Amino acid sequence: MAKRANGEGSITIRKDGTYHGRVYVTTTSGIRKRVSVYGKSRDEVRQKITDLQSRENQGIPVPDTNMNLEDYLTYWLAKVVKVHRRPKTYQGYESVVRVHIVPGLGRKKIRTLRAAEVRTWLTRVAAECQCCKHGVDKARPEPECCAAGECCGAVLSRRMVQSIHAVLRNALQNAVREELIVRNVAQLVQVPTPTYDTGKGLSVAEARLLLREAEKDRLHALYVLALVMGMRRGELLGLRWEAVAMERETLIVERSLQRVSGELTLVAPKTATSVRTLPLPPLVVRALTEHRERQAQERAAAGMAWREHGLVFTSRIGTPLEPDNLRRSWYPLRKRLGLKIRFHDLRHSAVTLLLDLGTPPHIVRQVAGHSDIGVTMKVYAHASVEEQRKALERLGHRLS
């Protein structure tokens, strides 16, 4: 047999009957290194060596990290997500990593992690009771049934399982970009697509009734902006007077109020298209004018206790409104009207009513600040039964 060429690789059989192959390749650290591969047959090992040599010939370096997933995710959160993503996004990613990914896959090496392992883990996570399973957050009180030894069966929603998968996929994709791994195995795993509830929109009559009933509320202008302008809750509570130009009748949406790491913080809106300039119709101008006068009276009544933040919607002493505390105004108003909708459904209502009026979808998208017109049409454009009836009657009349 002819002598093997330098770098061709070698295969030997081990005492346990498995085969061990070795070949020189260039690693991601830039050095040429002899790496090992293993298999149950000589052909299997030869194929692995051939694959490594093929990547070497294409100039693709071989990852040489031994980092486990927990260590990598700690690095990714601190050096990538925290630096380049919004604080709320970091907070959500960190929670998913700590509660779900690390307990299940944290000890796995990112270089040898397989798609089958990810798929098996996700299936188990989706089927586990979140109250009594091992690794659940101990700060969360257990329901009586789980405490008594009887599982309550509180499993994760499809949306949450999809979010967990997305966080892992994003993390591993960054590892691919940094040449720590060759491929993103999480991309090979499919998860069930969740169903989205678009919410119940208000009719014109219901919207008028709500605004009339809200006239007595100190946050009347907030409900007007939500129903007419379709602004998000965080955008409303983060709106500053300097962004409102009464003389030009325009408003700039450029900040959102969120609770991040225990503190209320003004952050950039949800997406780049969420930063937008909107014209103010007379109804909104009147509501904001009355609200500014009411706020001036509250400032005078508070005296030295007033804390100026420049916000349009504040507490009675000028401090930012806690987003979750908005329900103190919303729930009584909703109850008086006999409605069973969320505050966010006011935004749904604004978009749906604009579409029902025949407003072009691209205009509605700009008003609502959607990232894509597909969001406007797919998630929100659910025409009412009456609108469908009118459309079908017009078609029937045309064909008769």
Q: Tokens 């599982």 sit at which residue?
A: 151
The model's confidence at residue 135, banded by pLDDT at 50, 70 and 90, is very low
Amino acid sitting at position 254: E
Q: pLDDT tens-digit profile of 309-319?
A: 999 999 999 99
- pTM over 0.85? The answer is no
The model's confidence at residue 141, banded by pLDDT at 50, 70 and 90, is very low
79-88, 193-202, 222-231, 269-278 — most confident range? 222-231
Residue 41: phi and psi, rounded to 5, are: -140, 160
CB 19 within 8 A of CB 40: yes
Architecture field, domain 204-392: Orthogonal Bundle (1.10)
The sign of the dihedral angle between the CA atoms of 158, 160, 165, 170 is: positive
CB 165 within 8 A of CB 126: no
Of residues 295 and 26, the one with the higher pLDDT is 295
Q: How far is CA 273 from the centre of its chain?
A: 16
Of residues 233 and 270, the one with the higher pLDDT is 233
What is the C-alpha separation between 9 and 23, in angstroms, rounded? Answer: 4
pLDDT at 4 over 70: no
Q: pLDDT tens-digit profile of 65-76?
A: 778 999 999 999
The model's confidence at residue 196, banded by pLDDT at 50, 70 and 90, is low
pLDDT at 8 over 80: no
Taking CA atoms, 300 is separated from 222, 288, 319, in Å, by: 21, 18, 15
Query: β-strand 19-26 against 10-13: which pairing, if any?
Result: antiparallel
Structure tokens at 332: 């009584």
Taking CA atoms, 219 is separated from 288, 305, 335, 339, 340, in Å, by: 10, 20, 16, 18, 20
Q: Which CATH class is domain 69-188?
A: mainly alpha
Structure tokens at 357: 């009026």
What is the C-alpha separation between 329 and 222, in angstroms, rounded? Answer: 11
Q: Where are the domains of the chain?
A: 10-57, 69-188, 204-392
Q: pLDDT tens-digit profile of 216-258?
A: 899 999 999 999 999 999 999 999 999 999 999 999 999 888 8
CA dihedral 188, 196, 269, 314 (to 10 degrees): -150
- Report how far apart the first and last C-alpha atoms of the chain are (Å, whole number): 89
The model's confidence at residue 324, banded by pLDDT at 50, 70 and 90, is confident
Of residues 249 and 3, the one with the higher pLDDT is 249
The three-state secondary structure class of 381 is coil
CB 344 within 8 A of CB 368: no
Task: Please report the pLDDT score of residue 138 as a whole number.
Answer: 40
Task: Please report the pLDDT score of residue 389 as a whole number.
Answer: 74
